[in-house]
Structure 1
Amino acid sequence: MVTPPHFATPRQSELFGELLDVFLAEGFAHLTLDAIAARLRCSKSTLYTLAGSKEQLVVAATVHFFKRATAQVEAHVDPSAPARDQVSAYLAAVGDALSVVSDQFMRDLDAFAPARAVYERNTQIAAARVKEIIDAGVAAGEFRGVHAAFAAEVAATMMVSIQRGDIQASLGLDDASAYRELSAMLTAGMD
């Protein structure tokens, strides 16, 4: 379990969790510090104990969400399972982790460069993890002799396209569904 950033009091940790829930459900661009304080039933000065600005709150919440999501995803991958099952479990878990995120949060994240950079970095890490699993599967003879770097690059390209919202815009698939489709296509193609 990934704990939230360290705060001096349990109330601050609780507020941070509530803040994250609001951002994930509704996005953040439209919210002012006054509105956030009113929603969380706290003062703006209390919010400033969590971060120095709204922008810093957004980045801290985004970083925490992706750390938590990464831990959840890795918890669903059994390292002793066949590589095919690991790839499938990994990408399905990414989709599940993103299923709690609203479209508005994703639009806001894409429009706010520091938060978008967090998502992009996590996408790169996830693509590297998929490549690692594919490499191990090829080495163990579980996958045909696919070019693991190419398969990982296909995954990475699609993951970036999902992250940027291209897949949703062109196909109507939300991020979670797109990751599930990527998993099915990628694992079937390596038999």
Structure 2
Amino acid sequence: MTDDANDTPQPLATPRQREIFEALLEDFLAHGFAHFTMDGAAHRLHCSKSTLYSLGHTGDDVIRRVLVSFFREVTRRTDHALTSQRSPSAALQAYFEAMATAMEPATPVFMRDVISTPVGRRTHETNTRAATQKITALMEAGIMAGEFRPLDVTVTAHLVEVMLEHIQQGGVTSTTPSDAYTELGRLVLGGITVGR
């Protein structure tokens, strides 16, 4: 997963800004953000609106900044998983495991709002597309290394992308999103690894 490469917000300049930003992230992950307003956040967090406006010019700017920050951390953790493994199969397994762990704080209501709001949907589409590209590259490397059976990578990657979207949209209600990512990783590896 990745964040929007065009997003270059100014660094949080003060401890108070960082405190408010972390409180917003925690609140979004727990309760969603579809009804976020600057007035409501200022009241709930006991801060001035000027502090909130230092995080973004509009409510959508603030939401987007928080989402980008969260998914940037997901990206950092999944990318670390890729670079810490020597083989494509181990890297692909580690990637799904890291994604599952990184997404643990994301509640169903948070993921629902990611999908149902325009600002969230744009961030979600960017991240899903980037995740699919990385998984595709790992599958291609695994085929070249003889670890994965010859397969139509385009079709398999599309199926993975559909499942990622389905999980993120709350379509898997029998388990947590984190467990669903783990199971998806097992399913993919079980289906494409030579000798399994």
Normalising by structure 1, report the TM-score. Answer: 0.88
Shift of 1:24: 0.9
Q: The residue matched to 2:172 in structure 1 has which SS?
A: helix
Which one of 19, 42, 48 corresponds to residue 53 of structure 2? 48
- Which amino acid in 1 is paired with 2:114? L
- Which amino acid in 2 is paired with 1:183? G
Which one of 128, 135, 141 corresponds to residue 130 of structure 1? 135
Shift of 1:167: 2.6
Q: Structure 1 residues 69, 5: closer, same or farther in 2, change over 3 A? A: farther
| Structural RMSD (CA) | 1.9
Unaligned segments of structure 2, at least 5 residues: 4-8
Alignment pair present for 1:59 and 2:64: yes
What is the match of residue 90 of structure 1?
A: 95
Alignment pair present for 1:145 and 2:150: yes
Higher-helix-fraction structure: 1
Indicate conservation of the 8 Å contact 1:7/1:50, yes or no: yes
- How far does the alpha carbon of each residue in 1:124-157 deviate from its partner, in whole angstroms, 9 at most, with x for none? 1001100101100100111121222222222112
- Which amino acid in 2 is paired with 1:26? H
What is the match of residue 186 of structure 1?
A: 188
Alignment pair present for 1:177 and 2:182: no
Which one of 6, 17, 21 corresponds to residue 11 of structure 2? 6
Percentage of identical aligned residues: 34
In the comparison of the two structures, how many residue pairs are matched?
186
Q: Structure 1 residues 105, 165: closer, same or farther in 2, change over 3 A? A: same
- How far does the alpha carbon of each residue in 1:56-79 deviate from its partner, in whole angstroms, 9 at most, with x for none? 111111111111110011112245
**Distance in 2, Cα, partners of 1:155 & 1:175:** 15
Normalising by structure 2, report the TM-score. Answer: 0.86
- Which amino acid in 1 is paired with 2:176? D
- Which structure 2 residues correspond to residues 30-45 of structure 1 after superposition, within 5 A? 30-45=35-50
Alignment pair present for 1:24 and 2:29: yes
Unaligned segments of structure 1, at least 5 residues: none
**Distance in 1, Cα, partners of 2:161 & 2:15:** 38
**Distance in 2, Cα, partners of 1:39 & 1:105:** 18
Indicate conservation of the 8 Å contact 2:139/2:153, yes or no: yes
**Distance in 1, Cα, partners of 2:119 & 2:144:** 38
Runs of 4+ in 1 over 6 A off after TM superposition: none
**Distance in 2, Cα, partners of 1:109 & 1:148:** 28
**Distance in 1, Cα, partners of 2:132 & 2:44:** 36
